[in-house]
Structure 1
């Protein structure tokens, strides 16, 4: 799993490399292309809501720079990934269901932990009040 300071992550199981998208990227771009794919997913994790703006040429220049590719290669890589369902490109935004689901799961876990901590605090406070009586 890829993590960032205990934050959100996307699951990388044994089958991740065997998806059609990963195979096609590796076949077309080699190991560097696969690395660019993983970098793209990590970029999405760092963005609010897991979405990258790609509506402007400057956005694509930034994405290409982060992926270590020229702009045309980055656009082509994203098109391949979109064709195989690994990413979605719509309305000037780029996102991945894998990343979106991971962000949602992390939020759910965080909320459950917050609720559990609040319940423990309330229980401890109640016990303390009963002890003081």
Structure 2
């Protein structure tokens, strides 16, 4: 029995626009694909208790998160006729305005790609042991200097 390799979804720091663009560009040669769906999660500069969020520090129980993501991946591939599925989630500090989650699905037709992407995002948020701790503007400079 051949076991599929568990893919590492984690990226240190923010997910760059260049990485996202490169991922999209790599699919231009896959001419059987007719639709892509992309979700980008961005860190918001929320205000909490009159303090502004400057960044989020993401941590995870990585081994468990990767095992659970592997199962989610298998479930979604068995439910939708996808050509490709890519998931990348940040670890470490991601500043407000930067991308922390990139989910990219592809299929022969748009509807399965869109439905699968939506389900993936919801399951990632609900099921994976990934946490974000806010770093506030008044403390972010001090925190970054002590890093």
Higher strand share: 2
Which structure has the bigger radius of gyration?
1
Q: TM-score, normalised by structure 2?
A: 0.33
Greater relative contact order (Cα 8 A, min sep 6): structure 1 or 2?
2
Q: TM-score, normalised by structure 1?
A: 0.35
